[in-house]
Structure 1
Amino acid sequence: MATVKKIGENAPTNPRGIPFAPFVDKVEDYVTSRADVEGVLKSFQEFISKYQFMEVNTQRRAMGLKENIPDMQKTLDTVRFLKTRNDDSEPLETTFELNDTLYAKAAIKKTDEVHLWLGANVMLAYPLDEAEEMLDTKLKAAKASLSNCEEDLDFLREQITTMEVATARVYNWDVGMRRKERAEDTATGEEEKAASKG
């Protein structure tokens, strides 16, 4: 069917490759007869489902970033603070979190390196300058990714609305065509009755 090609192939996309939904101005561009309506509606529904799937995944990614960005910022701030300490500084007494409700006291001396969790139970020692550079780069990337997610969510909502409007237009066109056919059938039936009486 030509409809799927018109919707899916060679469609312009947003910067992350999500295709724009077609705006159905004239239903006749997508439907040539009432026999095509079911296929067109099905392909439109498939696109709505794909957009909704992308929306759910993007929401999850955005939520994860929103949770991680504050932790990344705290870690970066701590590394920057450690860099400000000089050799003559007294050890810094602090408490740190071991678990949700468990804290321990520590005396932190001047240091030239910091140990960072990288995930999957992996911790590496970094020189302070290298740690700051890495954390700053990761934080900027996370913020950019969150911004892209929010932009994509707005874009996806627009595309879903566009596809729902297109679906309604095709459905309403089909209803109008059925009424027109019924009216023509009724008029033809009345003409035949009148001709048979006369």
Structure 2
Amino acid sequence: METNPRGIPQAPFIDNVEAYLKQNESAEITLKKFAETLSKYRFMENNMLQRKHSLETKIPEIEKTLAMVEHLISKQGTGEPIHTRFELHDTCYAKARIDSTDQVYLWLGANVMLEYTLEEAHTLLKDKLATARSTLTTTTDDVEFLREQVTTMEVNTARVYNWDVKQRQQARLAATEETVAA
């Protein structure tokens, strides 16, 4: 079975329903398997969409923090104080005067903050930003791939279902013709 680069299996497209069902099970069993596969793809898609949303939220925060560290690096050694406002909470800011600094504290998550030199912080943030952007790109690709697989499975399901309905109609028609002929 083919997969994408991250191991998500590709849904097979059923070209000939009759030949496919001869090689496999009945239409009912096939439809149940398709429904299960479809639910797995949708579950993966929802997880990827959540991850994508999380990354889309994190990237601007990392960019903003990186810009501040770059600003601090540019002011380093000039001797002039930096007047700024920093965020205490979502809508609460405080004024600050920074006379000189060669260290910053960065939130790492899970209520953990560590002290870094400006150069270390700059390197760390650039790496985190590059990783986040790369992950966002692959996650976006995976979401698109999963949407294609969902569509393929929906088409397969419809084709098998329609084929089964047609077969049942033909069987009923044949039974009716036998009854009339007898």
Q: TM-score, normalised by structure 1?
A: 0.86
Corresponding residue for residue 196 of structure 1: none
Three-state SS of the structure 2 residue aligned to 1:117 is strand
> How many equivalent residue pairs?
182
- Alignment-mate amino acid for residue 82 of structure 1: L
- 2:164 is the counterpart of 1:190: no
Q: Please, which runs of 5 or more residues in structure 2 have no aligned partner? A: none
The question of 1:123 aligning with 2:118 is answered no
- Residue 174 of structure 1 deviates from its aligned partner by 0.7
Matched ranges for 1:19-168 at <5 A? 19-32=9-22, 36-168=26-158
Question: Alpha-carbon deviations, 1:8-39, whole Å to 9, x = none?
Answer: xxx11111111111100011343129x71110
Q: Which string of whole-angstrom CA distances, capped at 9 and with x for unpartnered residues, describes residues 63-106 of structure 1?
A: 11111110000101111111112323311111111112322111
Does the 8 Å CA contact 1:92/1:108 hold for their aligned counterparts?
A: yes
Distance across 2 between alignment mates of 1:99 and 1:190: 82
The superposition leaves residues 99-141 of structure 1 with CA deviations (integer Å, 9 ceiling, x where unpaired) of: 1232211111222211101111111111111111111011011
Question: Could you tell me how far apart the structure 2 residues matched to 1:92 and 1:171 are?
Answer: 69
CA RMSD across the alignment: 1.7
Label 1:177 to 1:88 Cα distance change in 2 as closer, same or farther (>3 A): closer
Closer, same or farther in 2 for the Cα pair 1:182/1:88, shift >3 Å? closer
In structure 2, C-alpha distance between the alignment counterparts of 1:155 and 1:87, rounded to whole Å: 50
Q: Which amino acid in structure 2 is aligned with residue 118 of structure 1? A: L
TM superposition shift of 1:190 = 2.6
- Residues 135-174 of structure 1, C-alpha deviation per residue, up to 9 Å, x if partnerless? 1011011111111111111111111110011011111111
Between the two proteins, what is the percent identity of the paired residues? 51
